[in-house]
Amino acid sequence: MKKKNKDNKKNKTVLLALSGGVDSSVAALILKKQGYRVIAAFMKNFSDTKNKLTNECNWVEEYKMAQKIAAILELPLIKLDFEHEYKTQVINPMFQAYKRGITPNPDVTCNTIIKFPLLWKHALNINADYIATGHYARIKKTNQGYELLQARDKLKDQSYFLSELSQKDLSHTLFPIGNLTKTQVREIAKKHKLPNHNKSSTKGVCFIGNIPLKSFLAQRLKQKVGRVLNEKGIAIGTHKGAHYYTIGERARPTSGIEIQKQALSQKRFYIAKKDMHANTLIVVPENHPLLNQSIFHIKSLHWINPKDKPLKNRLKAHVRIRHLGQLIPAELKIENSKWQFITSKGLEGVAPGQYAVFYGKDRVICSGEIV
């Protein structure tokens, strides 16, 4: 007896986010080969950065490549303009966070607030059944709901950036390349003569591109020279503004931090604390106890599946505090009505505003902003 196709893909429409990169291009190719009716959508979210060589807006270059890919794959291509939403809901809050001394993660909020909900909203308008992206992650449907899993390629896994998605998001989302490695994706693109098969991966802040972060912040947050102190409170240098820097960052001249030669003595210094009111940075040598913490508090927890929330508000899992960071054993629990996690060994360079993402083997369990 012929196995029934539970998705009946030939009658299903997918709105796929086509960025111009190789990952989303191969995702589109795979979906089309699987029998889906694929509609490509290019999302214009930021137009303030330009290519220094061509003086052309970055999004225009990406759009031209998306047009080429859509033509080769014979896909309809639409352009969605979410720039207003992106600037007001992601970029503006990002600047405000840095101004307060917090290090936000716009890549997480970009997915949660802009990319997935707005793409799905348009998908509903055109009667599409699913949305899809070129993210390296996997979705698994179980009797308990939907699970978000790490990608097969652990070196490209993007589940950290997707850790705030909901059951609703996962129920109508496809990640076609989640079971492939980056090498396999490029090989598929080359085999099908896609012109972006060897295109460099996108770097930098979501939709903004590879622009030095401090240069970007300087557009709105002006320089404010302050003192650099050692752990004893003695001034040993200057910096260009505490709002530009993050906990755990190395203090070096290229980032605008000047340390007195007599204080260096061949040591590397890292930022251990910031005082936004006094506009001072406290720096210490590497491996200093001030850089190492083992207890952290979380603003609020988001559960991928609310059913995973433990009845006794206590969970043992592995935590990651940055994209592709090491997975560390940790205990998550409520203490004084607030969520906190304790790691088996101390972590260095943990900055307020970053996300802690908790995993059970390959599965994302929950995530929350560190405070």
pLDDT of residue 199: 82
* Token representation of residue 194: 């896609």
The pTM for the full model equals 0.90
pLDDT of residue 11: 83
pLDDT of residue 202: 66
- Report the C-alpha gap between 235 and 66 in whole angstroms: 52
Q: With 60 as the cut, is the pLDDT of residue 53 above it? A: no
pLDDT of residue 3: 42
pLDDT confidence tier of residue 261, bands split at 50, 70 and 90: confident
pLDDT confidence tier of residue 1, bands split at 50, 70 and 90: very low
Check if 206 is active-site.
yes
Over range 170-194, report the average pLDDT: 97
Q: What is the pLDDT of residues 141-172, one digit of tens each?
A: 999 999 999 999 999 999 999 999 999 999 99
The CATH label, of 2.30.30.280, 2.40.30.10, 3.30.200.20, 1.20.1530.20, for the domain at 222-286 is 2.30.30.280
Check if 366 is active-site.
no
Antiparallel, parallel or unpaired: β 258-259 and 235-239: antiparallel
Q: Name the percent of the chain lying above pLDDT 70.
A: 92
Over range 30-54, report the average pLDDT: 82
Over range 167-195, report the average pLDDT: 97
Q: Spell out the domain ranges in the chain.
A: 9-134+176-213, 222-286, 293-370
pLDDT of residue 9: 75
* Token representation of residue 87: 């600037």
pLDDT of residue 69: 96
Q: What is the pLDDT of residues 191-248, one digit of tens each?
A: 999 999 888 776 656 656 667 788 889 999 999 999 999 999 999 999 999 999 999 9
pLDDT confidence tier of residue 266, bands split at 50, 70 and 90: low
pLDDT of residue 200: 78
Are 286 and 292 within 8 A, CB to CB?
Answer: no
User: Which range (113-122, 196-205, 289-298, 344-353) has the least confidence?
Assistant: 196-205
Q: What is the pLDDT of residues 66-85, one digit of tens each?
A: 999 999 999 999 999 999 99
- Report the C-alpha gap between 33 and 10 in whole angstroms: 10
Domain covering 293-370, topology: Elongation Factor Tu (Ef-tu); domain 3 (2.40.30)
Q: With 80 as the cut, is the pLDDT of residue 185 above it? A: yes
Domain covering 9-134+176-213, topology: Rossmann fold (3.40.50)
pLDDT of residue 49: 57
Which residues, in sequence order, are CB contacts of 103 under 8 Å at separation 6+? Answer: 97, 246, 247, 351, 352, 353, 354
Over range 329-353, report the average pLDDT: 91
pLDDT of residue 130: 98
Q: With 90 as the cut, is the pLDDT of residue 180 above it? A: yes
**CA atoms within a 13 Å half-sphere pointing along the CA-CB vector of 249:** 22
- Report the C-alpha gap between 128 and 170 in whole angstroms: 15
User: What is the b/e burial string over 167-199, where b = at least 16 CB atoms within 10 angstroms of the residue's CB?
Assistant: bebbebbbbbbbebbbeebbebbeeeebebbeb
Are 319 and 325 within 8 A, CB to CB?
Answer: no
Catalytic residue among 28, 97, 206, 347: 206
pLDDT of residue 55: 46
Q: With 50 as the cut, is the pLDDT of residue 108 above it? A: yes
Over range 318-326, report the average pLDDT: 93
pLDDT of residue 239: 97
Q: Name the percent of the chain lying above pLDDT 90.
A: 79
pLDDT confidence tier of residue 5, bands split at 50, 70 and 90: very low
